[in-house]
Structures are given as C-alpha cells and as structure tokens.
Amino acid sequence: MRGVVVVTGVAVVGIVATIGAGAVALIQRDHAADAAAYTSVSCNASLGPMTTGRVGSGAADAANLEPDQLSTVATIISIGKQRDLPPRAWQIAIQAGMTESGLRPLNHGDRDSLGIFQMRPSMGWGSPAEVVDPEYAVNKFYDVLLSVPNWDQQRPGDSAQDVERSAFPDRYHRWEAMATHLIGDLGKVVNASGCGPDVGRILPAPTKSAGEAIRFALSQQGKPYQWGALTTHQNSFDCSSLMLQAYRDGGVSLPRTSREQWRAGAYLPVEKAQPGDLLFWAHDTSDPATIHHVAMYLGDGKMVEAQQNGVPVHIRPVKWTEGGLMDYAVRPGV
C-alpha cells in the first residue's frame, strides 16, 4: 500500500494533523456523520455485491479460508455494522484485505507495509503496533474509504484501489465473488444492494428464449433503421424495437426503450456475455440514464444491431474496449 490520500469535502469531518517531515495528513473522523451519510445507499442494479467469477466460485474460495482468515472477515463485518456502514463497504474491505495479505495481520510486507491492508507507518497510517492490530486497521481502512468521492457508486474493487493505491489496480476484482458470498453467509445479509432479486444472481446458461431471440434478430438483417419504429410490424427497426420484438418472439417481454431494457434482466460483466445477452452504450458509462443504444451479442466477438439512419440491421464485430460500452450485459428473462 502507498500513502494515505485525504480528500477534503463535506463528507470529511475532523481535524488534520501533520506528523513529521513528509508524513501524510491524518483524519479523526466523526463516525456518527459517516453513518448518517452512508446508512442508505441508493439502488443501482449494476453496483453493489456481485458475483463475477465462475459459477460457485465465491462459495468455493470462501470454503478454502482458514479460521484466522474468517476471523478477520468477521472483524470487518462487525466493525462495519457497528459503524452503520452498508454491506458494500464491508465487501470493499474484504476484497482489499484478501488481496493485500490474504486477510491476515501480517508483521511484514513490501518495505514497511504491515497488517491486513499492508498499511505503511512511514506514510502516516499509524504506528507499527497499530497497523497490525485488526480493529485499528479495519477502522482506518473505513476512515480512508469514506473520504473517497463516490466510493459507493463504482465497482467495489475500484474503491479498494482508491484506498490502497496499488501498482496493480485490477487485482482487487479477483475476490469479488468470494466477498459477496461472505457478506451473505457471515454477515447474514439478503439482497445487500437493495436492488431486487436479480442483482448478484448466478446466471444460467443461455436459454431457449435467447435462442429464439437470436433467430428472429438475424432474420431481420438488411431491413432499414427507423427511429421510433412501430413494434407491431417488421418493416423497419430502431435499436430497442429490434430487441423487444426479438425477445417477444422468444416469449420474453421487454420494455420499449434501451434505458428501460437495461433494467429488464440479470447483470453480468460484459466480457462474460453469452449469445442473446444485451449490450448497452451510454454517453456516460457511470450513469445508466444516459444509455442511448442496445444490441444483441451473438458470441465469438460479434453482435447484431439496428444502429442508425442509413444503416440497415446488420452484424458487426464488438470489442469490450469500445467507447461508451457499459461494463455489464443484461440477460433478459431471468
């Protein structure tokens, strides 16, 4: 872990003290204010606890934890509950701790890094005795997490990285499924994100409905694009009317617009999309309200879409790095 980053703003309450030359600023937080600000996290079905690993991977990884590791998880959850922090905060701490130390209060690490989160005393995280103390370390992690702007509005592993400032930012995502399982199992939390039963669901294999939807969409190739096309005929299509009619042919009802269709199924990471899943594009990928396009994934890096005026329904390649592509695909009917 690198130095503590303190971001000032309305969410940060307390005093700042300087400790020696080159030391970072420390915050003494008002935990009651934290609780008032974060007890209720707004629902966004693409956020919060998620299962992004292979089917059953979260439970399988959790089953491999030793008693001392589970004790650390229990401490993270217990302190999170005491501070009235939402389960998303627990998840971020579990993912960070598993990545940094395997959820153990280590007395060694890179340079002077110590403890569950590999905090560095030389960078102002606390004394060596403090940072190896699980209770201190967990509270300090939460303190810094709550000073990160929009920590609760992004993927948990990204928030872990904002606290840890690792040279390998993507590694925190590895333990997402396990952390989700643990907050449900040890934390006794049902539907932790508050967004309904489809959030975090382990998704099934492609369905019969998806197969029928693909067949329908492919049979419309060459037909013209028309914005606001009627959904009672197949003379022309816009992006969402093609998806609506395709899934209607498969026995699944979808709402009319692409923004509404974003909420019409179960979510999975876009790079794990399977044939029949819906892909979405937005002007701002952090805000589903800006979604403006939807297409159907066909597998093998290809999709079918009704794109825009002058372009008929067609198949084209898709790359997961495309600008505006949302991070999650949607599987209708589950």
Considering only CA atoms, which of 192, 234, 219, 217 is closest in space to residue 297?
217
**Token reading at 300:** 């093998």
Q: Mark whether 293 is an active-site residue.
A: yes
User: Which residues have C-beta within 8 Å of that of residue 44, sequence separation ≥ 6?
Assistant: 153, 193, 195, 288
**Token reading at 95:** 């993912």
Q: Please state at what angle helix 134-146 crosses helix 87-101, rounded to 10 degrees.
A: 120
Out of 43, 66, 239, 283, pick the active-site residue. 239
Q: Mark whether 135 is an active-site residue.
A: no
Out of 176, 305, 314, 322, pick the active-site residue. 305
Out of 173, 181, 195, 293, pick the active-site residue. 293
Is residue 181 classed exposed, middle or buried when 0-12, 13-18 and 19+ CB atoms within 10 A define those classes?
A: buried
SS (H, E, C) 255-310: CCCHHHHCCCEEEEEHHHCCCCCEEEEECCCCCHHHEEEEEEEEECCEEEECCECC
Helix (H) or strand (E) holding 331: strand 328-332
CA gap 37, 262 in Å, rounded = 28
Query: Distance between the two ends of the chain, CA-based, in angstroms?
Result: 40
Residues marked as catalytic = 239, 293, 305
